[in-house]
Amino acid sequence: MVTVYSKPNCTQCNFTKRFLNDKDIPYQEKDITASDEALNEVRDLGFQSLPVVMADGLEPFNGFRPDKLKQLV
């Protein structure tokens, strides 16, 4: 399972979601502006910038990271 924490008008978030869509990798998106719970989850992970990607078998990471995203393919 892949979770992408994002917010509207976030370029790196959009690049990350586009990468996942292009590779047909299913993911759950959590908008931190629409959910205090999602915002708190990002803070609890220690991140201050978006996107934050969590995936089974990978350490959570932030930013648009094609090198990390390729590990999901």
Please name which of 70, 43, 73 lies closest in space to residue 52, comparing C-alpha atoms.
43
Give pLDDT, residue 21: 97
- SS percent in the chain: helix, strand, coil, step 5: 40, 25, 35
Instruction: Give the residue ranges of the chain where pLDDT is below 50.
Output: none
Give pLDDT, residue 73: 85
Which tens digit of pLDDT belongs to each residue from 7-24?
Answer: 999 999 999 999 999 999
Q: 31 near 39, Cβ under 8 Å?
A: no
Q: What 3-state class would DSSP assign to 45? A: helix
Q: 5 near 52, Cβ under 8 Å?
A: yes
N- to C-terminal Cα distance for the chain?
A: 12
